[in-house]
A = this chain, B = another copy of it.
Amino acid sequence: MPVQTLEYPKQPFSTVRRYDSRDPPDHQHEPAGQCLLYGPGHAFPQTLPMIGQMGSFDRPSADTGDVLDLYLHGYVSSRIMNLSRKKDDEQKKPTSNEAAPAAAAVEYSQSESTGLPITITASHVDGLVLSLTPNSHSYNYRSATLFGYATPVTDAAEKLWAMEFITNSVVRDRWRHTRVPPNGAEMQSTSLLRVKIVAGSAKIRSGFPSDDKADTGDEGLLDRVWTGVVPIHTVLGEPTPSTYNRVDPAPGYLSDYVKGTNTYAAETALEQTTKAMGPKSKTDG
């Protein structure tokens, strides 16, 4: 099956992040990416759905061609926040007796190995791939995995920046149309993680089905079986006002965003339908 696999650091990071550059932050609505971590004492990897965005506090104008951090938004009480806080505290103690960070962390540069090692995944399905034989059926999809070290954001300016950044990723330009800035209690109760990415990979399948010659040469089969792709995309529906909403109709920045996002999503699914795959593991950027 023609699946394209990209791996960082074997290939330029911008290539690995093709997934991101194709789905600009404000069009990415698979935000409940899964964050995985080794839970101490668990037989199974632990996982949490979280909201995340790639960005840089130090260089806010950086784009997906640059090395970015991943900002994750969660709740103070949640396990991942507690674990990363604990891990960060442990590693900051110069006299700590605690065990060293997970053994394999030394694969990566020491300066980056502070924090909790986590894996972040996001995937998006672009189409149903219907071929002549059941075995060649597939999905068009783009799936990305990042590996990195998570630490809580403690600097107030960085926290405020990340809150604005993430809010505007829900709906473009939403932040300044809400009650801002957050008050002290809100700043306190909101936890954010910054993940320093040390490795990543992507798997992508696009294009039409690929059947064996023995089957595409079978006239009877070709006359009988429909083959092709059913493109799949995500649609934002009609904004539905809450019981206490008084702003009617929905504001322009919101309806523009809904329209733009839907157009982009439909076009991308069609593009992925007709886009031929490169040879396996070949980069295209």
Number of identical protomers: 2
Given A1-B75, A42-B104, A107-B43, A240 and B228 touching (CB < 8 A)? Answer: yes
Least CB distance from A141 to B in Å reads 5
Least CB distance from A152 to B in Å reads 17
Residues of B within 8 A of A224 (CB): 177, 247
Residues of B within 8 A of A32 (CB): 123, 125, 139, 141, 143
C-beta contact mask, A167-182 vs B, less than 8 Å → 1, else 0? Answer: 1001100110111101
Interface membership of A251, Cβ < 8 A? yes
C-beta contact mask, A30-52 vs B, less than 8 Å → 1, else 0? Answer: 11101011100111111101010
Residues of B within 8 A of A216 (CB): 244
Number of contacting residues on A, CB 8 A?
A: 104
List A residues at the B interface (Cβ < 8 Å): 1, 29-32, 34, 36-38, 41-47, 49, 51, 75, 101-105, 107-108, 117-119, 121, 123, 125, 128, 130-135, 137, 139, 141, 143, 145, 147, 163-164, 167, 170-171, 174-175, 177-180, 182, 186, 189-190, 199, 203, 208-209, 211, 215-216, 218, 221-247, 250-251, 254, 258, 266, 269-270, 273-274
